[in-house]
Amino acid sequence: MPQASVHVSNLLRCPECGNEQEFIEVSGEVTTTTFYQQNPDGSFTPIDQESEQTGSPRLFCGNCEKDLSALYERFAEMIF
């Protein structure tokens, strides 16, 4: 059975190169806390990790690296 092509009209698209698939989020001022458990042999295994971001995130095109931070709110709304 042939698959129908679906057209999504609200895709983010880089105005510079037209990329609509790959994007990069850069977060500054992030505190990462990692919890470890020590093993009987003295090695450590991470068991949990938490991150807290206090800086403003930035968004870039994954193809041409154009700064798309003005579109960040829309990007963040569509992360599921």
| This prediction's pTM | 0.69
What is the token pair recorded at 35?
């919890």
Domain that holds residue 54: 23-77
Q: What is the pLDDT of residues 8-67, one digit of tens each?
A: 678 899 999 999 999 999 998 999 999 999 999 999 999 999 999 998 999 999 999 999
Identify the three-state secondary structure at position 71: helix
Residue 43: predicted pLDDT:
96
Helix (H) or strand (E) holding 62: none
How many domains, the chain?
Answer: 1
Q: Give dist(CA 5, CA 47) in Å, integer.
A: 42
CA 29 vs CA 14, 22, 37, 52, 55: distances in Å = 26, 23, 26, 8, 5
Letter string b/e over residues 22-32, b meaning 16 or more CB atoms within 10 A of that residue's CB:
ebeeeeeeeee
